[in-house]
Structure 1
Amino acid sequence: MRLTKNTQGALFMAASMAAFCCGDALSKTVIATMNAGEIIFIRGLFTSFFVYLLARKMGSLRSWKVILQPMIALRIACEAIAAATYITALGMMPIANAAAIQQAVPLAVTLGAMIFLKEPVGWRRWTAIGVGFMGVLIIIRPGPEGFTTAALLVIACMFATAARDLATRCIDKEVPSLMITFCTAISISVFGALCIVPFGGWQPVSTTSLMQILLASVLVLIGYQAVILAMRTGEISFVAPFRYLSLIWSALLGLIIFDEVPDSWSIFGAVIVIASGIYTFYRESKRRGVDPVAQESEPRVPA
């Protein structure tokens, strides 16, 4: 049976989210024996190697001086912060909760675009942003003592990721995406190395942990390729909501591997975040009158 373009795009997106979540789960399994700096460093080395081979094959390599462009440097800094905060938080909270909070990134991007890029945001999207962040608070549920460290780390990751996406919009389109990815992967690997001592020093790395990090790097790269294929194949309005399958994958992995069961409030908050994100995307698509054939999406760079 011949699949429609939309069905193909949806399958690519579902596969992409599965790959990302499995990569996060693998990182979570090793955070108990290694610090976040080690994981970022080793995973960055693997990622840099794979991206270099791909960029070389695609003819996307350019002078390393492109990293001196302010927006590329900002993107790298934001990606480094996002990687460090998210991996650290994974060792302190359920993977499904962390993934649910990250679903608010599109809302933060919309907010940042209004503040820094002066993009118009109507009252409907303002309302959706406010409701979405309320959903995040429901997931976190800060107590009398305030936010937990894990919650603050994931919130920092969310805003760092949004800032990274906004910086990506401002990068000269003449710079190939793979070159940006390669520079980011190398820089984040160096950042991870610098974090090893502050995060507790180098811990022995078992062969099993090394293989898990290697597999996580491969899965993340598969995820990025799949999301690009998804956004190029199907209609953007049909394919994009399948990003939220990451919540299902995260919940299943958390239950099977870590025996984590999301409570009813976390599920309720996640539903609010998802609904707000889908509505914000709908309003954005309607305002811009996007072409029914999706363009390439600029994905998150693996760290």
Structure 2
Amino acid sequence: MIFSVIAFALMSSFVKYLSDFNVYQIVFFRSIGTLFFTVPLIVKNKISFLGNKKKWLFARGLLGVISLTCFFQSLNYLPVGTAVSLRYVAPIFAAIFALIFLKEKIKPIQWCLFFIAFVGVLIIKGFGADVNYIGLVFVLLSAVFLGLIFVVIRKIGPSENPLVIINYFMVMAFVFGGLMSIPYWRNPTSIELLLFLSTGVLGYVGQLYMTKAFQAQETNLIAPIKYLEVVITILIGAFWFGEIYNSWTIFGILLIVSGLIYNIYVKQNDTK
């Protein structure tokens, strides 16, 4: 999981560094780096590219493209650590959507924890340093669609190979990003091209090691480590981009992370 969070933190930081490029071009190159791994692995293992639940796979891919585009767009307006932190409110939306569509129950203490996390968002917006309203809207939209993705993946269930799910997402990102970037296309330098493709590689590595982590240990032990990504991106933002995080921003981030980590323990204990 530590390898995973480092990969995701670096991916977000590279995207931040490339923010002079149009977001659609970033989405396009992000997909190429991942497809470099998924397509050969699907062919090697003789897995069907189309999968079984095509409707839900398409929905997951579409929602993924929207969420990814909104998140990358938010990095044009927000410090990288703040954007990553705010995107972590996605489990709140996931729980609400699961309540509506899957009839999963939410315990009263979970509502309290979600409220604490949401107060963290309000504190960051109200008192945090350099929190742009447009960036806030984009990152919260990303979190909403990410919450929907969790529900769709539950609907897909274990019947689909994870490679197929990721591949649908990346193929749609490739097509969408490629077409939308045509009017804004700018040829990257060799270094920029390397960073572009690295975002896809890092995204794949992050997904791979996160999956391995959850397969190796219980969720309630592994999931909280995921929030190290917030700490790492804040450090990268401060030292690489010279971003400023005041005490209110840090306090808001702590509320978000602590509320959602404790929610993981509540859910895991409820299932035992």
Matches of 1:181 and 1:63 in 2, distance apart?
A: 11
Structure 1 position 188, deviation (Å): 1.0
Matches of 1:35 and 1:225 in 2, distance apart?
A: 28
Contact 1:98 1:154 in 2 (8 A): yes
Aligned to 1:25: 13
Mean CA deviation greater in 152-161 or 104-113:
104-113
Contact 2:77 2:132 in 1 (8 A): no
- 5+ unaligned residues in a row in structure 1: which ranges? 1-12, 290-303
Structure 2 vs 1, CA of residues 275 and 92 (structure 1 numbering), >3 Å: closer, same or farther? same
1:115 aligned partner, one-letter code: I
Aligned to 1:158: 143
1:103 aligned partner, one-letter code: Y
Output aligned runs, 1:6-155, within 5 Å: 13-32=1-20, 34-57=21-44, 59=45, 61-64=47-50, 66=51, 69-141=54-126, 148-155=133-140
The equivalent position to 2:177 in structure 1, one of 158, 181, 192, is 192
Give TM-score scaled by structure 2 length: 0.93
What is the aligned-residue identity percentage?
25
- 5+ unaligned residues in a row in structure 2: which ranges? none
Alpha-carbon deviations, 1:210-257, whole Å to 9, x = none? 100112221111111111111112232221111110111101110121
The equivalent position to 2:193 in structure 1, one of 204, 210, 214, is 210
Question: Aligned to 2:48, what secondary structure does the other structure show?
Answer: coil
Aligned to 1:256: 239
Contact 1:71 1:170 in 2 (8 A): yes
1:267 aligned partner, one-letter code: I
Give TM-score scaled by structure 1 length: 0.84
Matches of 1:67 and 1:45 in 2, distance apart?
A: 24
Moved segments of 4+, more than 3 Å: none
Matches of 2:228 and 2:49 in 1, distance apart?
A: 38
1:235 aligns with 2:218: yes
Identify the structure with the greater helix proportion.
2
Contact 1:128 1:280 in 2 (8 A): yes
Question: Aligned to 1:196, what secondary structure does the other structure show?
Answer: helix
Q: Paired residues, what number?
A: 270
